[in-house]
Amino acid sequence: MSNNIKYAEIWFKQAKYDLEAALVSKENGSYEWACFQAQQSAEKALKAFLFLNRKRNVILHSIRKLIEECGAINKEFFKLKKAKVLDQYYIPTRYPNGLPDEVPHEFYMLEDADLCVKYAQKIIQLVATILKKV
């Protein structure tokens, strides 16, 4: 097994665990964490695809930029451009100063968590399909 496949599988496995954590957080009413964990799931799945394709120094956290990089290799990723909304959940879900005068736990709602999880699931599904072919 090449290192590219090995790293891709490790990152993808963690992406799936992050998605599971997002689902648990959503179920428990911790919507801010569900949003962040879904963002992390999507980020790690996209990075897994990039690692698979010999991209090693991927220090981006932006879902939009990661989708662009993945799309340059496989056009299927461009179908997920709307997942860029996950970028809005990277910082303000975790830090009280990320929102003006709001507590993240009180600010985010089930609808936010549903949206984030939906996009993470779509990204996971696409990367899973590609990894199965390797």
DSSP 53: T
What would the mean pLDDT of 78-102 be, rounded to a whole number?
Answer: 95
- pLDDT-derived band of residue 102, with 50, 70 and 90 as boundaries? very high
Of 23-37, 94-108, 113-127, which range is least confident? 94-108
Ranges of each domain in the chain: 3-132
What distance in Å separates the CA atoms of residue 102 and residue 13, rounded to the nearest whole number?
A: 34
Span 35-71, pLDDT tens digits:
999 999 999 999 999 999 987 777 889 999 999 999 9
Average pLDDT, the chain: 95
- Cα 123 to its chain centre, rounded Å, is 7
Given 3-state DSSP classes, what are the helix, strand and coil percentages for the chain, each rounded to the nearest 5? 75, 0, 25
The correct CATH number of 3-132 out of 3.40.190.290, 1.10.1740.10, 1.10.10.60, 1.20.120.330 is 1.20.120.330
What's the rounded Cα separation, in Å, for the pair 16 and 70?
18
